[in-house]
Structure 1
Amino acid sequence: MSENIAAVLRGPYDVNVEKWPMPEINENEVLIKMSCVGICGSDVKFWSTGRCGMETIVEPIVMGHEGAGIVVKVGAKVKNLKVDDRVAIEPTQPCRCCEWCKQGRYNLCIEPGYCSSQGASGNLCRYYKHVSDFCHKIPENLTMEEGAAVQPLAIAIHACNRAGIKMGSKLLILGAGPIGVLCAMVAKAMGVTKILMTDVVESRLKTAKGLGADYTLLTKKDDVEQEIQDKIVNLLGSKPDVAIDACGYGSVQRIAMLVTKTGGTVLVVGIADSVVEVPLSQALLREVDIKGSFRIVRTYEPALEAVSSGAIDLKKFITHHFDIGQVKEALQLAKTGEAMKIIIHLNT
């Protein structure tokens, strides 16, 4: 077995591929030789600012949480996997004891052990260990790249479930990045009739148009918010039933709360600043439900099945490929917003 290497982040713009200790598994874990890892928007925020959401880097961490690989060693009590199984890694290792874990909402665990967060290693490395029951076998008709890209798809499925997506709904998605586009793909598969996506990057909207969006709207940061609302209503023919914020900006959340129809739903899946200014009363007095969606809960296997059955096509969603030695270049490209889904390959 060769030595371990990892993409280690020590602070803003300070990431390097270096030697890293080989993981030692316990009886409930498996050792995985990583094959593919996707780059996520949260990776870019950690790399460029040293923080993301409520997390701040205080010590070096291994990057990456969208991973797929091959099992090379299993713990003594592992029953669900064997050596040579291809697995997609659901990137959490919940405590299983807190109130939220006991309710089945392990995404809200108080000590989640989520990949690439403080106290939990990421999987952008050659060898990585994980609890076996959060490693899911990849169907034979899926590539390793698709296995890695299932992670953001599982997030999108959870978001659409939280939003109460229904057949025949009109949907507004603000932000045509990876999560926004996957939400459109999931919503279309769930029977949504009209999907409008907005973004400030034209190339993302062109990609979105081929992956689920019926209408697109290019916006600019200095656009008047009321004018954006008017354009949304004009394109959809009415106010949307559901609006999903997939980018996490206060201006976007304001538009979502005001343009969504009375009695509709605003779902926030984008990671915003800790404090944003929004027209809360104007939304609540119209009984617009405002919900959050955080990570993943019980949607990994449905995501794998959706891709395996052909209901969701992830091959078109994956746009760029790099090897682990090019991680800086991959992050720089991801920051521009020009790429949809970047996959880092570790078999080189």
Structure 2
Amino acid sequence: MSRNLANPSCVLYAARNLVIEDRPVPEITDPHYVKIAVKKTGICGSDVHYYQNGRNGLKVVKSPMVLGHESSGVIAEIGSEVTSVKVGDRVAIEPGIPSRYSDAYKSGNYNLCPCMVFAASPPNNGTLARYFMVPDDFVVKLPDHVSLEEGAIVEPLSVAVHSCRLANVTFGDRCVIYGAGPVGLLIAATAKAYGATEIMVVDIFDDKLELAKQLGATHTYNSSEDRGASEDDNRTFQLAAFGGNVPNIVFDATGVEACITAGINLIKVGGTFMQVGVGKVKIEFPMAAVGNKELTVKGVYRYSHDDYRLAVKLVGEGKVDVKKLVTHRFTFDHAVEAYEVVSQGRAVKCIIDGPEDAE
């Protein structure tokens, strides 16, 4: 179906109203931009929220929007001033473009730019199309031995890299990660690569916890049996599962109130708590423990300077095996089916192929 279209694109009109339609082929008007033939795209949790509900938190789809932001591809065309890449290069695509004039950009924190244009964040179109365009400094070339599928997973891996860099993970750290979704699993793998020596992943699904062990977790804990237990008992059970270790760094990759509370209660005095997952706008929070323990609490928002390059380096050097996350693959013409599968919780990471070229 998509083969005969000039620029087939997966367009979301409203909740569960996703169609493949032709869109104009983008043209380079800025000499520093590149046009990319998208080859692989992963489905992210935010994509699923848009697909299921037509919104993700406060961001609402009000006009048709192309989905997708976890992508890799091949350079199809370059602007006249581009020297960093050439036609035919295989690249990971960083999907958020900040204003070059914002204080956030100039300070190296461009992920916090108030004028960020992020793929598949209303009203901006995403990458799930034949062609996508970005400035040349927002692509990272892939080593020859790194596949395009691995290149697509560089996006969530960059969130993990950003999280571990903000937490200053180093050799000897003891880390606990709540949530064994793709980002939580990648945080575990990245923390290991950065030198953490004890790593526990907490989740309620044994199959995801088994995958966590393959990616670097030294301990796992299924917290489904904790329901109804007191906070003190939860802490006792989880410390026992961690071999009696008290973590100095805790990452919450769930946004779930119970996990946040458990993490704050579990962490060592003077430790660092990293909020990575997004949940309710307002929750009950154990503020007294933060003060009594003199904890450092940090939020994590996407990724920033050098995170993408470091993520590619981790994959290229074999320090993080992102291939283990991929459980489902679909052709472009079956993208709607792919979103349904992920919506039903049946996939860890689902990859959609880019549209086949016309013959």
**Alignment map for 1:185-200 (pairs within 5 Å):** 185-200=189-204
Query: Which of 229, 236, 244 is 1:224 aligned to?
Result: 229
Query: Which of 64, 77, 96 is 1:60 aligned to?
Result: 64
Once the 2 structures are TM-superposed, how far is the Cα of residue 225 of structure 1 from its aligned partner? 5.3
Greater Cα shift, 298-307 or 173-182 = 298-307
Query: Which of 179, 185, 208 is 2:183 aligned to?
Result: 179
**Alignment map for 1:286-305 (pairs within 5 Å):** 286-297=293-304, 298-305=306-313
Cα shift readout 1:55-103 (whole Å, capped 9, x = no counterpart)? 2222221111111111111112222122111111011111011111110
Query: Which residue in 1 is equivalent to 2:262?
Result: 255
Greater Cα shift, 218-227 or 144-153 = 218-227
Once the 2 structures are TM-superposed, how far is the Cα of residue 2 of structure 1 from its aligned partner? 5.5
Query: Which residue in 1 is equivalent to 2:20?
Result: 17
Q: Secondary structure at the match of 1:139?
A: coil
Greater Cα shift, 274-283 or 225-234 = 225-234
Query: Which residue in 2 is equivalent to 1:211?
Result: 215
Query: Which residue in 1 is equivalent to 2:88?
Result: 84
**Alignment map for 1:69-218 (pairs within 5 Å):** 69-218=73-222
| Inter-CA distance 225–74: structure 2 relative to 1 (3 Å threshold) | farther
Between the aligned partners of 2:138 and 2:50, the Cα distance in structure 1 is 24
Query: Which residue in 2 is equivalent to 1:241?
Result: 248
Between the aligned partners of 1:206 and 1:328, the Cα distance in structure 2 is 29
- Residue type of the alignment partner of 2:347: A
Question: Would the aligned equivalents of 1:232 and 1:239 in 2 still touch at CA under 8 Å?
Answer: no
| Inter-CA distance 335–231: structure 2 relative to 1 (3 Å threshold) | farther
- Residue type of the alignment partner of 1:182: L
Query: Which residue in 1 is equivalent to 2:287?
Result: 280
- Residue type of the alignment partner of 1:23: P
- Residue type of the alignment partner of 2:254: C
Cα shift readout 1:309-344 (whole Å, capped 9, x = no counterpart)? 111112222222111222222222223334222111
Between the aligned partners of 2:74 and 2:230, the Cα distance in structure 1 is 48
- Residue type of the alignment partner of 1:35: K
Query: Which of 27, 30, 36 is 2:34 aligned to?
Result: 30
Question: Would the aligned equivalents of 1:225 and 1:255 in 2 still touch at CA under 8 Å?
Answer: no
Count of residues in Structure 1 that have an aligned counterpart in Structure 2: 348
Between the aligned partners of 1:327 and 1:194, the Cα distance in structure 2 is 39
Q: Secondary structure at the match of 1:124?
A: coil
Question: Would the aligned equivalents of 2:12 and 2:66 in 1 still touch at CA under 8 Å?
Answer: yes
Once the 2 structures are TM-superposed, how far is the Cα of residue 170 of structure 1 from its aligned partner? 1.3
Q: Secondary structure at the match of 1:83?
A: coil
- Residue type of the alignment partner of 2:241: L
Greater Cα shift, 48-57 or 96-105 = 48-57
Query: Which of 307, 310, 316 is 2:318 aligned to?
Result: 310
Query: Which residue in 1 is equivalent to 2:11?
Result: 8
- Residue type of the alignment partner of 1:9: L
Q: Secondary structure at the match of 1:210?
A: helix
Greater Cα shift, 329-338 or 66-75 = 329-338
Greater Cα shift, 172-181 or 270-279 = 270-279
Between the aligned partners of 2:230 and 2:156, the Cα distance in structure 1 is 29
Q: TM-score, normalised by structure 2?
A: 0.92
Greater Cα shift, 307-316 or 1-10 = 1-10
Question: Would the aligned equivalents of 1:53 and 1:271 in 2 still touch at CA under 8 Å?
Answer: no
Unaligned runs of 5+ in 2: none
Cα shift readout 1:100-144 (whole Å, capped 9, x = no counterpart)? 111010000111111111232200111111111101111111111
Pairwise CA RMSD: 1.7
Greater Cα shift, 213-222 or 110-119 = 213-222
Q: Secondary structure at the match of 1:238?
A: coil
Percent of counterpart pairs with the same letter? 35
Between the aligned partners of 2:327 and 2:133, the Cα distance in structure 1 is 28
- Residue type of the alignment partner of 2:252: D
Structure 1 stretches (4+) deviating beyond 6 angstroms?
none
Question: Would the aligned equivalents of 2:154 and 2:308 in 1 still touch at CA under 8 Å?
Answer: yes
Question: Would the aligned equivalents of 1:204 and 1:338 in 2 still touch at CA under 8 Å?
Answer: no
Unaligned runs of 5+ in 1: none
